[in-house]
């Protein structure tokens, strides 16, 4: 990565952390107390923590560029892509299975 991009990354990572902390504070304050609301709150907290860790690793990587962070980021991006694939595919598989089940029962 060129030096200019590393400087921009080291500047914008803390700015993004502050921005998403502000957004998280506002969203968590709007969520109610029900069961579905609790599930949404847990999802938001997990998403927030993941993003903060990613920004902190990006900041350290832009400043010092250690090899172990490159391996960790590569590993985490692969896991993130796998999770997104599962999230995008599971509803369709469920709908197809439900349609087949309805066809077999009628």
> Which residue in 19, 54, 20 sits closest to 62, CA to CA?
54
Neighbours of 62 (CB within 10 A): 20
* Tens digit of each residue's pLDDT (9 = 90 or more) over 82-91: 887 888 888 8
Q: What angle do CA 43, 36, 39 make, to 5 degrees?
A: 20
- pLDDT of res. 26: 84
Would you place residue 1 in the very low, low, confident or very high pLDDT band (cuts 50, 70, 90)? low
Domain boundaries, the chain: 1-65, 67-106
- pLDDT of res. 101: 84
- pLDDT of res. 8: 80
pTM of the model: 0.55
Structure tokens at 42: 């847990």
* Packing angle of the helix pair 35-64, 67-105 (nearest 10 deg): 150
- Please state the rounded mean pLDDT for residues 55-68: 81
- pLDDT of res. 36: 80
């Amino acid at each position: 990565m060129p030096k200019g991009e590393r400087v921009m990354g080291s500047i914008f990572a803390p700015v993004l952390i502050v921005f998403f902390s502000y957004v998280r504070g506002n969203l968590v304050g709007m969520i109610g107390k029900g069961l579905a609301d609790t599930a949404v709150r847990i999802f938001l907290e997990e998403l927030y923590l993941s993003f903060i860790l990613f920004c902190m690793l990006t900041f350290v990587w832009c400043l010092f560029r250690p090899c172990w962070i490159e391996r960790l980021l590569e590993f985490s991006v692969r896991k993130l892509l796998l999770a997104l694939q599962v999230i995008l595919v599971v509803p369709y598989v469920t709908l197809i299975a439900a349609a087949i089940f309805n066809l077999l029962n009628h």
